[in-house]
Chain A
Amino acid sequence: GAGVSQSPSNKVTEKGKDVELRCDPISGHTALYWYRQSLGQGLEFLIYFQGNSAPDKSGLPSDRFSAERTGGSVSTLTIQRTQQEDSAVYLCASSLERLAGETFGPGTRLTVL
């Protein structure tokens, strides 16, 4: 596609439920990133994929968070047993190569009640 797309655009869930967020990067972009943006924490790095592998998982805040990427394309970020502090906008970005100047998606706004 022309840009990075993310779904859903908004997600409201109850505390304790699992959620899955999806990212469709720009076709041909081998590098894919997940960030989250919240008022208190600014922009935080979560995870980086090069192809299907994730050489850097250092940003995942807890073992409730996991991510995968298949076919060098679509990525899903899963948050298990959501907590209220998980409420944020989750941003996906992709680039042709690592740190080439990422194109960001519109984000998924997650609200945990």
Chain B
Amino acid sequence: AQKVTQAQTEISVVEKEDVTLDCVYETRDTTYYLFWYKQPPSGELVFLIRRNSFDEQNEISGRYSWNFQKSTSSFNFTITASQVVDSAVYFCALSGRGSQGNLIFGKGTKLSVKP
């Protein structure tokens, strides 16, 4: 079965702290994609990143970085020097099997960054 687990339901940090959001996935596919989305209080989901299962290189984009480890089936997301504007619900997702076009989402982690 395919599954995405985001064990952290809510995280609260103070501005400028670093924070890591965990994502663990299950799939029997050898080829798959992993995603992170951000849903700010305004409600609209924003695409952050897509990684191919064959590319385990870590990625950095500004204050955001992603650590993909196939050995532990994890795709963790770190925000460095967090800011109040980072407050949102963050979703990790896994691509569905075969010709399916769906994403399987985790339950999300609500991040609150306090000034």
Task: Kindly provide the distance from the CB of A58 to the nearest chain B CB, expressed in whole angstroms.
Answer: 7
Taking CB atoms, residues of chain A closer than 8 Å to B108 are 42-43
Asked if B95 CB lies within 8 Å of chain A CBs, one says yes
Contact size class for A? Answer: 20 to 34
Q: How many residues of B contact A (CB 8 A)?
A: 24
Which residue of B101, B104, B106 contacts A50 across the interface (Cβ within 8 Å)?
Answer: B101
Contact surface of A with B, Cβ cutoff 8 Å: 31, 33, 35, 42-43, 45, 48-50, 55-56, 58-59, 89, 91, 93, 98-107
Residues B104 and A45 in contact, CB atoms below 8 Å apart:
yes
| With known contacts A45-B96, A48-B101, A56-B99, A99–B50 Cβ distance under 8 A | yes
Asked if B64 CB lies within 8 Å of chain A CBs, one says no
Taking CB atoms, residues of chain A closer than 8 Å to B91 are 43
Taking CB atoms, residues of chain B closer than 8 Å to A45 are 96, 102-104
Binds A, one of B11-19, B39-47, B73-81: B39-47
Task: Kindly provide the distance from the CB of A39 to the nearest chain B CB, expressed in whole angstroms.
Answer: 11
Residues B47 and A99 in contact, CB atoms below 8 Å apart:
no
Q: Which of B68-115 contact A (CB under 8 A)?
A: 91, 93, 95-96, 99-108
Extra contacts, 5 of them, besides A45-B96, A48-B102, A93-B45 (Cβ < 8 A), are A31-B101, A50-B101, A89-B43, A99-B50, A106-B43
Residues A107 and B101 in contact, CB atoms below 8 Å apart:
no
Which residue of A56, A104, A105 contacts B102 across the interface (Cβ within 8 Å)?
Answer: A56
Which 8 interchain pairs have the tightest Cβ spacing? A48-B101, A45-B102, A104-B45, A43-B105, A101-B50, A101-B47, A56-B100, A99-B95
